[in-house]
A and B are shown apart, each in its own frame.
Chain A
Amino acid sequence: DAKTTQPPSMDCAEGRAANLPCNHSTISGNEYVYWYRQIHSQGPQYIIHGLKNNETNEMASLIITEDRKSSTLILPHATLRDTAVYYCIVRNSGNTPLVFGKGTRLSVIA
């Protein structure tokens, strides 16, 4: 079973920041937080991951709370092409399979 809890859906206006929350209250010390997204009819796409510190790359930023029990994925300027299902996944620091939950369906609205 997935170890994370996400809202089933969110809307965001185009050009605004999209903030997607994730709860992972049972995360253990060696587990990372990964974010993937799946655009309609495509395979899941890696976005970002982190352990303790906040992370940023060309796609998004990941903010992890100090107690590591929750995190937020931030898309700074959402576009229509960011409409997708976003999955928050907790995973050991090895090459273990991804366990997908239901994710959050983000709709970016013009």
Chain B
Amino acid sequence: DAGVIQSPRHEVTEMGQEVTLRCKPISGHNSLFWYRQTMMRGLELLIYFNNNVPIDDSGMPEDRFSAKMPNASFSTLKIQPSEPRDSAVYFCASSLNRVQETQYFGPGTRLLVL
């Protein structure tokens, strides 16, 4: 199994530009999570989906952030417009939607907004 796949692995962009982060969950997993990690705030949940439906997006910072899951094998996290304070590592994780299931994390996308 290839595990959770994220792209790009690194992204450098200028303030005001649109950024799209992509995630392919492990095949067969029906829950998907987006986390963000910064030195100041640590690892924090942004949003998660069950069966492609957003369940809790209360962690999404503001309207500049949006996430979609058009099918079971793909999700995007979009930031428009991006700001320097969005610089962080963004992780995607997936799991089976069952009791006690383990979440498996991708390698992360390191975003730098100049």
Contact = CB atoms under 8 A, between A and B. Distances in A.
A102 B42 contact: yes
Given A43-B105, A93-B100, A95-B95, 18 more contacts: A38-B43, A42-B107, A42-B108, A43-B106, A43-B108, A45-B105, A49-B102, A93-B99, A95-B98, A95-B99, A95-B101, A97-B33, A97-B48, A99-B45, A100-B35, A100-B44, A101-B42, A102-B42
Interface in B37-79: 42-45, 48, 50, 56
Contact of B93 (A43, A49, A93, A101): A43
A91 B39 CA distance: 23
Nearest to B48: A97
Interface string B85-114: 000000101011111111111111000000
B82 interface: no
A43 B93 CA distance: 9
Cβ-closest 5 pairs across A and B: A43-B105, A100-B43, A46-B102, A97-B45, A95-B97
B99 A100 contact: no
Interface in A1-48: 32, 38, 42-46
Interface residues of A, number: 18
Interface string A70-110: 00000000000000000100000111011111100000000
Contacts of A46: 102-104
Contacts of A94: 99
13 contacts: A42-B107, A43-B106, A43-B107, A43-B108, A44-B91, A44-B93, A46-B104, A49-B100, A95-B99, A97-B48, A98-B33, A99-B45, A100-B44
